[in-house]
Amino acid sequence: MTHRLPTVRTPAELRAAVRGWHAAGQRVALVPTMGALHAGHLALVTRGLELADVVVASIFVNPKQFGPGEDLERYPRDEAGDAVKLAGAGCSLLYAPDVAVMYPPGFASFVRVAGLPDLLCGRVRPGHFDSVATVVAKLLSAAQADHAVFGEKDWQQLAIIRRMAADLDIGTQIDGCGIVRDGDGLALSSRNAYLSADERVRALALPRTLDAVRTSILAGMPVAAALAAGERSIKAAGFARLDYLELVDGETLYSLGAAAPGARLMVAGIIGTTRLIDNIAV
């Protein structure tokens, strides 16, 4: 039997629910999402339940974080189906505000983290991470949760949110959750739904290249040569555009010329019309 997931749609209702759990001595974790949930999102709920007593998920397709020509209109939406999945994963409450609730007339504030948003994905998605930081600041502020859990597939997003939460004294602990992959290695993403069968096969070049480049670097190949070989493999797989394949410091996101503690290998590219990202620790 499936349980109906209680749903609230305003910050006041969300805050009241969390206050109730806190008054009962329970710790609360927030899992912010844009819906179209897959096993990767449900792993965030599972992680939330390890960190806290109660998990609240949010679903809000944030229009401000989509650039002109990006996939806002076709972004998959299925709140009813998502609610069933969340309830099955042990989530206790869904926060699903409308755009008019999040951005009422007169809305004029935004949060900008300096530096980090200009690197990697930020070079081709100007303004994207400012809109992410803004909406996440709003969600964290509305929920007042003890923890908030984000997927490590969006590593740059996670680094920016950590910086923002620390800088603004947001009392919510930001936690990362490891990437969930399909059996063949492709990182789960709501955008994988856009891939044709052929693109889905060719997209495997991303995780396979990350693995190969990491192996080469750890075997002593100069980073520049390992990255150049990786770029050739991704292009040979038919990616229309490779935005970056870069070894970076996992916190500052600065490019690294050699493996170092905390290093992360990051990639983003477009196959067909779908932009995919992935990363691994080196």
- Residues identified as active-site: 41
**What does R_g of the chain's alpha carbons equal in angstroms?**
19
* Residue 132 binding ligand PAF, by CB under 6 A: yes
Of 62 and 209, CB closest to ligand PAF: 62
Q: Is 197 helix (H, G, I), strand (E, B) or coil?
A: helix
Q: How many residues bind ligand PAF (CB under 6 A)?
A: 10
Rounded least distance, CB 59 to ligand PAF, Å: 8
Contact stretch for ligand PAF (CB under 6 A) within 106-114, 132-140, 172-180, 220-228: 132-140
- Pick the closer one to ligand PAF by CB: 136 or 195: 136
- CB-based contacts of 105, cutoff 8 Å, min separation 6: none
Question: Can you tell me which residue has the tokens 């409450």?
Answer: 93
User: For helices 205-218 and 223-236, what crossing angle results, to 10°?
Assistant: 160
The stretch among 26-34, 46-54, 84-92, 274-282 that binds ligand PAF (CB under 6 A) is: 26-34
- Is 137 a binding residue for ligand PAF by CB under 6 A? The answer is no
Which of residues 11, 17, 33, 244 is near ligand PAF by CB under 6 A? 33
Neighbours of 218 (CB within 10 A): 11
- Kindly give the pairing relationship between strand 54-59 and strand 173-177: unpaired
Cα(157)–Cα(218) distance, rounded to whole angstroms?
26
The structure tokens 């349980």 sit at 3
Q: Which is nearer to ligand PAF, 65 or 92 (CB)?
A: 65
Tell me which residues touch ligand PAF (CB under 6 A): 32-34, 62, 65, 132, 135-136, 154, 157
